[in-house]
Structure 1
Amino acid sequence: MSLLRALLAVFLLSAGVPSVASPQATPLLRIQGSNTVGAALAPALVEGLLRQQGFQDITRQPGALENEQTVRARQAEGPWVRIAIAAHGSSTGFRALREGSAELAASSRPVKDAEVHALAARGDLRSRASEQVIAIDGLAVIVHPTNPLRSLAVDQLAALFSGELRNWRALGGPDAPVRLYARDDQSGTYDTFKELVLVPQGQQLDAGARRFESNDRLSEAVMADPLGIGFVGLASVGQARALAISAGGAQALLPSPDSVATEDYPLSRRLFLYRAPDDASPWAQALIDYAQSAEGQRIVERVGFIGQAVRAIPVEAHANLPGDYRELAQTGRRLSINFRFQEGSAQLDNKAMRDLERVRDYLNASAGEDAQLVLVGFGDAKNDPSRARLLSRLRAETVRRALSRLGVTNSQVLGIGDDLPVADNQAESGRIRNRRVEVWIR
């Protein structure tokens, strides 16, 4: 008997075993928070974990409220159990952790300082044990398929959603009003859009925008409106058309699997599960472990998000690339990992710490003995370009040392400085995104 099944037996004895006809009254696990995570990804991961643990007759049932559902299952000839998922927005997940009404908070944005403070009595929510990146998502800006627009810069996007631009004619479209569709204030998707698009431009969302709790409902509304524009998680684009987005003068990128995996796409974001450090639920930890496993990451991709398994991606050696970087594009292969750092720190962030292991495992499984890693550091603009290059090289050196501790020693570093930004250096959020280390193999 597995540890989880043994703990389940204790749980059922303490809670009172229900009849076979009805699910266990007390959920094994309660997940609250992001609609992006909770609508499809969390239920799919729960079902995968239950199958792995030998459960049968696994089904989903709608809850009492919209955007709530229950996954129920039973052991062979055993009692029914259930896991409850409520997807009303990222902020509701952290509130549920504080109130003790959930073991896991699903979030489509990082935990905020105020939420960390409110939950400080339960431990540090930014610790590696608590904060788990389970998938990468691209926040897709969508229009009706008949809309002639193909790309937008972030400042144009802000002008549209603030109401500064109210007619499609200003962007080369028809002489017709722009109709805005946005997620609601509880949503991590809205928080991400606000922080990446509106705040850097000093704008606020137009009060006339229609608001939605659900990504899928928003996408359906845009599909029904040739004059509409909205933003959703990548898995909810549906039949609408996503626009290419540019920032900081960089090339406009569509939210493709490669551009989102590397977080080069300007509106890429991470999807999280948070667990309070003092929580003793074995099912919460089991779901986290399963989500991070190879099988769990395959489910991430099947649902429509971007998994974190390392793969090689093509890069065209354009003539306008910096010389060293262009040579690397000609002779090497870029991997789908960007190492990033904690805000205001030279320390790698929680995703990067797990990505170190992913790179090591990729090399062991897919690269020859003579393969060499090249770690390419980038940074935000400085008054002195030589300082920007030095800092970018030091970031790459930090990753090299961390990999060396895991036994990956055949590597070199390259500092590019502030060339090839992926975000606007005028905003702090953009400068943070530009401080990164790419991974190449040759």
Structure 2
Amino acid sequence: MGLKFWCAAIFAALSFCATGAGAQDVTLTSRDGALSVEGILLGFDGEFYRVDSRYGPLTVDGEGVICDGPGCPDLTATLAILRITGAAEPGNRLLPGLFDAYARTRGLTIRTEAEGAGFRTELTDPNSAQTLASITFAPAPPEAARDALLRGQADLAVTLTADKGFGARAMALDAMIPIVARDNTHPRIATPDLAAALAGKIRNWKELGGPDMPIALHALSGDSSLQEALTARLGRDVAAVQRHASPAELSAAVARDPWSLAITGQAAQGTARVLPLTDSCGFPLLPDRASVKAEDYPLTLPVYLLTPRRRLPLFAREFLDFLDHPAAQGAVAAAGYIDRAPETVPMTADGLRLLNAIKGAGPDVPLDQLQRLADVMRDASRSSLTFRFEDGSMTLDARSRENLKVLAQLLAVDGFRGNEVILAGFSDGSGSAGANMDLSESRAIAVATGLSDAMPDLPEGTPQPRIMAFGEALPMACDTTAAGRRANRRVEVWLRPLAATDNR
């Protein structure tokens, strides 16, 4: 390791702005003896040293240095350390099951015990009885969790909001839902009315068509990850009359109060009743598994693991990769959250969408177009893999780019054997019918092009996905709002049995 490498490493550390160490317990010396750095060993994953030096945290390739000092690890018995912080509810519910699934797939012994408001887990080799990994989860408010990542005091953070200053991996899916007491018989609430109630602009159930009783707004404390996510969606804080320390306390309080209203995560509904949600045109918005996975439900809430802008220990990287494993998805579902595995639903089970299409069809959607749509839907199923685009562009958004990789992998292994794969393009209702038809076709072509780039070769005999365009004929939501128009601009993945295709 030469002078150039060390200068680059030190320059990177200076930009990290961490404080220098007090006592020095390791010295890392380049193998040519030219340079050395002293500091406190933060971790060693078998490949890289992580040292808190006077230059700030440094990550150094173990092959290029010699470690000297009392803090140097035993290179024959490396212990992986993983420190996780962040949102208490999803962290304590999801992580233990995920680590248990990780251990089972690798034949390791696992022991988990409570530690403070979080837990500690150890993974052990059953043959040698050697502890291979020590994992801790310590809950913290969102700002404190992000600060811990920046300062190198944590490796991962559980959060319900992505942050441009960090990497993010979706661990699970949830949905924000309005809840009321079970003896509150109010039938439904439209999204504009819900937003107005949460903002304190609608204060009485009478304004929503209910009895003349004040709305008692409940919410979580402002330093919770769920409340932060809700505030980001609303653009302002909830005008709550009562605040609670945890989702469980929130749900229990709402269930006791007949005139209460709150927003919580679907996984934390508790004994309260879900108040059905519609958009401003009366379209039902259902937080079922398939709708949440496809992001058709507007209040879909991913549960993220934030990662710092530095190289993570090897064990952390392996665990993040494991999140895509079927065993991990099973653990997510067992914890009461929605997994990220693609899901397929028969289109005949989605008759509500066709009814909405008929109800919302204007003069620009002729009967023969609706008949064509119904004819294709009759035999088809819909995958939860859905593609949407960044505002004002043909660029796929971040979630859709991940879906593109998944679809490419499924096509590469002939995962849809016996089915014709259709990329069905749709538009919103603004503009002329002809222009909208062209736009929906262009979006489907953009997805097909992205697939070709991600997966140049299909298995022999497997046809390329078919492109179909339906313009504005199958709206998901009301076109009078920006959110509704965005939901309507999409490309869906439909699967139609080849036998049904051949018979036409």
Same fold at TM > 0.5:
yes
Q: Which residue of 2 aligns with 1:440?
A: 494
Give % identity.
28
CA distance in 1, matches of 2:449, 2:274: 39
Q: Which residue of 2 aligns with 1:69?
A: 119
1:307 alignment partner, SS class: coil
CA distance in 2, matches of 1:245, 1:139: 11
State whether residues 35 and 90 of structure 1, in contact with CA within 8 Å, keep that contact through their aligned partners in structure 2: no
2:178 alignment partner, SS class: strand
Q: Which residue of 2 aligns with 1:152?
A: 189
2:270 alignment partner, SS class: coil
Q: 1:154 Cα shift?
A: 0.7
Aligned: 1:333 with 2:366? no
**Residues 312-327 of structure 1: matches in 2 within 5 Å?**
312-315=344-347, 316-317=350-351, 318=354, 320-321=357-358, 322-327=370-375
Q: Which residue of 1 aligns with 2:266?
A: 234
Aligned: 1:56 with 2:109? yes
Task: With the length of structure 1 as denominator, give the TM-score of the two structures.
Answer: 0.80
Q: Which residue of 2 aligns with 1:373?
A: 421
Q: Which residue of 1 aligns with 2:148?
A: 96
Aligned: 1:181 with 2:218? yes
**Residues 386-397 of structure 1: matches in 2 within 5 Å?**
386-397=434-445
Q: 1:337 Cα shift?
A: 1.5
Question: Cα–Cα, structure 1 residues 6 and 106, in superposed 2: closer, same or farther, change >3 Å?
Answer: closer
Question: Cα–Cα, structure 1 residues 361 and 31, in superposed 2: closer, same or farther, change >3 Å?
Answer: same
Q: 1:292 Cα shift?
A: 1.5
CA distance in 1, matches of 2:396, 2:267: 28
Q: 1:435 Cα shift?
A: 3.0
Q: Pick the structure with greater CA Rg.
A: 2
- Stretches of structure 2 that go unaligned for 5 or more consecutive residues are 1-43, 51-69, 359-369, 497-504
Question: Cα–Cα, structure 1 residues 340 and 15, in superposed 2: closer, same or farther, change >3 Å?
Answer: farther
1:7 is matched with which residue: 36, 40, 46?
46
Question: Cα–Cα, structure 1 residues 389 and 62, in superposed 2: closer, same or farther, change >3 Å?
Answer: farther
**Residues 246-325 of structure 1: matches in 2 within 5 Å?**
246-249=278-281, 251-315=283-347, 316-317=350-351, 318=354, 320-321=357-358, 322-325=370-373
Question: Cα–Cα, structure 1 residues 393 and 209, in superposed 2: closer, same or farther, change >3 Å?
Answer: farther
2:112 alignment partner, SS class: strand
CA distance in 1, matches of 2:346, 2:286: 15
State whether residues 428 and 488 of structure 2, in contact with CA within 8 Å, keep that contact through their aligned partners in structure 1: yes
1:372 alignment partner, SS class: strand
State whether residues 144 and 226 of structure 1, in contact with CA within 8 Å, keep that contact through their aligned partners in structure 2: yes
- Stretches of structure 1 that go unaligned for 5 or more consecutive residues are 18-23, 120-124
- The superposition leaves residues 355-414 of structure 1 with CA deviations (integer Å, 9 ceiling, x where unpaired) of 234334545465334x21111223344344433332222221111122234245432223
1:37 alignment partner, SS class: helix
Amino acid corresponding to residue 215 of structure 2 in structure 1: V
Higher deviation after alignment, 222-231 or 187-196: 187-196
What is the alpha-carbon root mean square deviation over aligned residues?
Answer: 3.2
Aligned: 1:205 with 2:259? no
Q: Which residue of 1 aligns with 2:136?
A: 84
Name segments (4+ residues, structure 1) moved above 6 Å.
none
CA distance in 2, matches of 1:246, 1:15: 60
Q: 1:31 Cα shift?
A: 1.8
Q: 1:152 Cα shift?
A: 1.1
State whether residues 27 and 81 of structure 1, in contact with CA within 8 Å, keep that contact through their aligned partners in structure 2: yes
Q: 1:155 Cα shift?
A: 0.9
Q: Which residue of 2 aligns with 1:134?
A: 171
State whether residues 36 and 233 of structure 1, in contact with CA within 8 Å, keep that contact through their aligned partners in structure 2: no
Question: Cα–Cα, structure 1 residues 36 and 330, in superposed 2: closer, same or farther, change >3 Å?
Answer: farther
Question: Cα–Cα, structure 1 residues 389 and 167, in superposed 2: closer, same or farther, change >3 Å?
Answer: same
State whether residues 310 and 362 of structure 1, in contact with CA within 8 Å, keep that contact through their aligned partners in structure 2: no
Q: 1:91 Cα shift?
A: 4.1
Higher deviation after alignment, 83-92 or 305-314: 83-92
State whether residues 425 and 471 of structure 2, in contact with CA within 8 Å, keep that contact through their aligned partners in structure 1: yes
Instruction: Tell me the number of residue pairs that the alignment of Structure 1 and Structure 2 aligns.
Output: 406
Amino acid corresponding to residue 490 of structure 2 in structure 1: R
Amino acid corresponding to residue 29 of structure 1 in structure 2: L
CA distance in 1, matches of 2:475, 2:237: 25
Q: Which residue of 2 aligns with 1:29?
A: 82
Amino acid corresponding to residue 274 of structure 1 in structure 2: L
CA distance in 1, matches of 2:225, 2:429: 29
Q: 1:240 Cα shift?
A: 1.7
CA distance in 1, matches of 2:307, 2:45: 22
Q: Which residue of 1 aligns with 2:407?
A: 359
1:136 alignment partner, SS class: strand
Aligned: 1:43 with 2:96? yes
Amino acid corresponding to residue 265 of structure 1 in structure 2: Y
Q: Which residue of 2 aligns with 1:412?
A: 466
State whether residues 162 and 306 of structure 2, in contact with CA within 8 Å, keep that contact through their aligned partners in structure 1: no
Higher deviation after alignment, 87-96 or 151-160: 87-96
Amino acid corresponding to residue 238 of structure 2 in structure 1: L
CA distance in 1, matches of 2:259, 2:467: 49
State whether residues 176 and 301 of structure 2, in contact with CA within 8 Å, keep that contact through their aligned partners in structure 1: yes
